[in-house]
Amino acid sequence: MNFRTTFPLGILACLIVGFSGTASPLVAQEVGHVPDEYPPGPLGEVVRLGEAIVWETKDHPLSQPYVGNQLNCTSCHLEGGTDPAAGSFLSTATAYPAWSPREKRVITLEDRVLNCFMRSENGTRPPYGSKVSVAVTTYITWLSTGAKMKMNAEKTLGPRHIQILDLDWKQASKERGLELYKTYCLDCHGQQGEGTADGPPVWGDGSYNDGAGLSRVDKLGSWLKVAMPLGDPSLTEQESADIAAYINSHPRPQFKLEEHLPAAEKMGQYNGQRP
């Protein structure tokens, strides 16, 4: 798979220690890091499978049936979730099970993964215990190797979640955002937000739906600040906010929960071998 050759784990691990500005083991533990090795045996195979699905969600045969747009998990969780800032999966598993104010119940990491299929991927929720669900959850859990458990009693977010910028979001201007979009984003994401060979769609049918985190201007603006333009996230806070207002002023798929759930009898599965 191309991502294995492009991003060898060892190099990524060095980069992440580099980003955090120190190689002290304590900080590395807080920040989380990509483990040096895959677990042995079948567990390692499932970690790799989950990694492949995170990179190729819309095309991978196991996840493709559950995806309703042009996005992969790595489209927003950059570098397969190993980017320390932009939707990082490093240490994420330590926060789960967590309290979900939206669902008014405690949810597991698996639930959280499945929710991103329904909203950010505008698709259908894969069944609990299905191969795709277990593989992705296993990969994300592996990225918390060595990190300290700290279940989140307030929200479904891990220790490296996107920090919402302290801005007056009502002042975000989609008119200024249009001009900035033309300068910094259009080449890769297209005049109509439809995407190009160099970047996925940012609005319209191929994009995330209006139930997704990024459909909130404050979440999108805060993500853009640390994520885009790809490889050179250099926008000011105000620019990030203005572009977010512009992008989210366009239509995108509407989220209705019942359209994204599997049939009742498919909500759960027993995936073990019966003796």
Contact residues toward ligand HEC (CB under 6 A) are: 57, 71, 73-78, 87, 92, 95, 112-113, 116-117, 120-121, 136, 140, 156-158, 161-162, 184-185, 187-189, 198-202, 207-208, 212-214, 219, 223-224, 228-230, 235, 243, 247
3 three-class SS: helix
- Helix (DSSP H) and strand (DSSP E) numbers for the chain: 10, 2
The Cα–Cα gap between 60 and 273 comes to 25
Nearest approach, Cβ of residue 40 and ligand HEC (Å): 24
Locate tokens 């994009």: which residue?
207
**Of residues 119 and 275, the one with the C-beta less far from ligand HEC:** 119
* Amino acid at the residue 97: P
User: Considering the complex, what minimum distance in angstroms separates the CB of residue 224 from ligand HEC?
Assistant: 5
Cβ of residue 6: shortest distance to ligand HEC, in angstroms? 10
Q: Provide, rounded to whole angstroms, the least separation between the CB of residue 37 and ligand HEC.
A: 22
Between 120 and 130, whose beta carbon lies closer to ligand HEC?
Answer: 120
Q: Which two tokens mark 71? A: 């996005």
Q: Which lies closer to ligand HEC via its Cβ, residue 24 or residue 155?
A: 155
Neighbours of 182 (CB within 10 A): 12
Burial (CB < 10 A; 0-12, 13-18, 19+), residue 123, is buried
Q: Closer CB to ligand HEC, residue 35 or residue 204?
A: 204
